[in-house]
Amino acid sequence: MEENKENDKAEIYSQRVRAGKRTYFFDVKSTRSNDYYLTITESKRRYKDDGYFYEKHKIFLYKEDFDKFLEALKGTVDHVKTELMPEFDFTQFDQNGEGDHEHDREIESETEAGSGSDVESGEELKWD
């Protein structure tokens, strides 16, 4: 039983994207039956009275939903780029993945005002 727990947590593939105050992890994991799924984790380092902790949100994406997810994501991003912000130059973010992350401050203010989210806190994340 203990061996299966270790196998479930074994990463097959991992990619990290740093984006301002946030970091996104894209991890491929294996099930007990040797099937694969993707976890997308948003991590944000926060400060609390006794020190730092990592607030994270996690999405589990299964193979049967990969194409639907990608299609919806691409469609949504394309809508923002072509319909809502056609004059904006998105290529300025292509250089090094960094840019003006003013939205971090806006979302942080909204979150701190009380969103009632069910965030898991205090768990360490791995950093390369």
Q: Is the pLDDT of residue 5 over 70?
A: no
CA 29 to CA 22: how far, in whole Å?
22
Identify the pLDDT of residue 3.
Answer: 47
Beta strand pairing status for 36-48 and 22-30? antiparallel
pLDDT digits (tens, 9 = 90+) for 97-122: 455 555 555 555 544 444 444 444 44
Q: Coil, strand, or helix at residue 25?
A: strand
Percent of the chain with pLDDT over 70: 66
The 3-state DSSP composition of the chain as helix, strand, coil percent (nearest 5) reads 35, 35, 30
What is the band of 4 on the pLDDT scale with cuts at 50, 70, 90? very low
Q: What is the mean pLDDT of residues 74-92?
A: 94
What is the band of 82 on the pLDDT scale with cuts at 50, 70, 90? very high
Q: What is the pTM of this model?
A: 0.64
- CATH architecture of the domain 2-112 equals Roll (3.10)
Side-chain-side CA neighbours of 71 within 13 Å: the count stands at 5
Residue 39, exposed/middle/buried by CB under 10 A (0-12, 13-18, 19+)? Answer: middle
Identify the pLDDT of residue 58.
Answer: 96
Identify the pLDDT of residue 127.
Answer: 44
pLDDT digits (tens, 9 = 90+) for 30-53: 988 989 999 999 999 888 888 888
Contact 43, 56 (CB under 8 A): yes
